[in-house]
Amino acid sequence: MDGKADPLLQLCTELGDEVVYAEVKHFREKEQDRTDERTMRGSEDLVPTGILALTEGSEAWEQIAKVAIGKVDQYKEDAPNILVIATDSNSVDGSKLPAAVHIYDEQANSDPRLHRLNAFMLMDQWYLWIKELSLEKNVYFCQTAHAKTPMSEGLINTLASIQRWSTPRNITSIGYR
């Protein structure tokens, strides 16, 4: 341990008896990431990156919203729910989260089942590969507008306060139960 508190451990400690259900999605590195890397290496100019519509037909925020909507039946009824997204792609990052939540909220206007989701949390794993840059943040939190079962103010503040997350070095994979 490097002396820094593990945000997940701190989260569990601070929540106490409170329960929040989490659905998890992992966005892996995308072909567009590799294309962008080759383009940047071959140019001395600034080049646009992360345009997923070119290779996948939709942008990152649309893909995040689609995943959230597609998981609607997995969100627990009458309980707080969050969608946790881990991403290894530099095309899917925290800057895309507000747009994804906006799209989700627009859909929730016409589908009350979507009122089960309280928030999105995105953990940007891609930045772990370049942690020498000492980036201030790689965890992003954004609430939905129509959650039926509210989260406590303490839970919201705790989730929103998480700034950094990284996989412990001794964990290579976590099995399913």
Any idea what the Cα angle at residue 91 is, between residues 160 and 94, rounded to 5°? 10
Judged by average pLDDT, the poorest of 78-87, 99-108, 150-159, 165-174 is 165-174
Categorize the per-residue pLDDT at 66 as very low, low, confident or very high, splitting at 50, 70 and 90. Answer: very high
For residues 142 and 29, the model is more confident at 142
Task: State the average pLDDT over residues 149-176.
Answer: 71
Looking at residues 100-127, what average pLDDT do you find? 91
Bridge partner list, 21 = 81
**3-state DSSP of 60-121:** HHHHHHHHHHHCHHHCCCCCCEEEEEEECCCCCCHHHHHHHHHHHHHHHCCCHHHHHCCEEE
Residue entry with tokens 């399913």: 176
Per-residue confidence (pLDDT) for residue 136, from 0 to 100: 65
Cα–Cα distance between 126 and 124 in angstroms, integer? 5
Q: How many helices (H) and strands (E) does the chain have?
A: 6, 4
CA angle 30, 32, 36 (to 5 degrees): 125
Residues in the chain, how many? 177
Query: Please, which pLDDT band fits residue 124 given cuts at 50, 70 and 90?
Result: confident
Mean pLDDT is lowest, of 50-64, 94-108, 125-139, 151-165, for 125-139
Which positions ≥6 away from 129 have C-beta within 8 Å? none
Token code pair at residue 86: 């881990």
